[in-house]
Amino acid sequence: MSANIFGERLKVISFGESHGLAYGVVIDGLPAQIKVNLDLLEKNLARRKPGQGDHTTSRDEKDQYEILSGVFEGKTLGTPLAVLVRNTDQRSSDYLEIQNNPRIGHADDVWKNKFGHADYRGGGRSSGRETLCRVIGGSFAQMLFQSQQLKTSVVAGATQIGPHKLDAAQELPENIKKFLALAKTEGESYGGIVQCRIQNPPVNLGQPVFHKLKSDLASAMLGLGAVEGFEFGAGFSAAAMKGTEFHSAADSTNYGGIRGGISTGEDIIFNVAFKPTSSIKDVAKVGRHDPCIVPRALPVVEAMTWLVLADHLLWSRTDRV
């Protein structure tokens, strides 16, 4: 299986399966002398990890990381940086029945049909657990910005959980947690929408033809499992607008902080739509699944955003003499 590498100048290589020994990531292209902020890494991993309450999966993984290479005396070396997280709470017996009976809505049959041989336990490589690799990579990308003393911030929040509208919440209110906990017991699942805001992005990020900043952000988000849609700026509402309205100097937010594929330095806001979790009915009742992945997807959306920004930050240094 190919295509496990993300990025152009900053490359992140993800490996591992849900019920294998471990997940891991190799980061190549990260400059030397970046101060490693372990508190930041641990905070981001804690926001993504399972077992956060009745409204999330009950799989009990501590997600304790091991930095194998690329760091010395608290700073990056500029060499490949490898991080490993061992799986400790696999329950593979839960998946024996699906070996020959693919689950509805999952990609069990698609993967087996494509490769002829696939790890069906917990979804194998297609498991949402793989996103911890992305959170690790995104955390180190964020450290690059910190080392440059840039004021850029990336914050993702939920604006919708199922039928419920929210105000870009990073922490779900109690009534939504109860709503999802009930869905879990009933074998139901829901989707939602995540809004991500990039404040104070550097100017001139993005290439004007291929690898526009907007296209790489879209690729990063649509490459996440369960994502059904992406829009930035005016988004789909732009289709119904007049040109004199859309291109009004008084409302540059329609451009979403990107023009010609290049960042303008204005805030960049985009929305990501997630479908309902595929595990439903009896599969959800007896297994360990999230009734909605949006709450744990927030740090993943932020991580992928940081990876795109860091990749283009490094890229921009070679744009001109």
User: Which amino acid appears at position 83 of this protein?
Assistant: V
The structural domains of the chain, with segments of one domain joined by +, span 5-316
Report which of 9, 25, 3 is spatially closest to residue 303, judged by C-alpha positions: 25
Distance CA 186, CA 249 (A): 50
Q: How is residue 85 written in tokens?
A: 């997280």
**Phi and psi dihedrals of 154, rounded to 5?**
-130, 120
C-alpha pair distances (Å), 142 with each of 34, 44, 60, 302: 10, 11, 27, 10
The answer to whether the predicted template modeling score (pTM) of the entire model surpasses 0.85 is yes
Distance CA 228, CA 103 (A): 19
Distance CA 318, CA 99 (A): 49
Mind listing the pLDDT tens digit of every residue in the chain (321 residues)?
A: 789 999 999 999 999 998 889 999 999 999 999 999 999 999 999 999 876 767 777 667 788 999 999 999 999 999 999 999 999 876 666 666 666 777 777 788 888 888 888 887 877 788 889 999 999 999 999 999 999 999 999 999 999 999 999 999 899 999 999 999 999 889 999 999 999 999 999 999 999 999 999 999 999 999 998 999 999 999 999 999 999 999 986 668 899 999 999 999 999 999 999 999 888 887 766 666 789 999 999 999 999 999 999 999 999 999 988
Contact between 161 and 189 under an 8 Å Cβ cutoff? The reply is: no
Contact between 262 and 208 under an 8 Å Cβ cutoff? The reply is: yes
CA torsion 288-292-294-299 (nearest 10°) is -10
Q: Which CATH class is domain 5-316?
A: alpha beta
Q: How is residue 54 written in tokens?
A: 């009745």
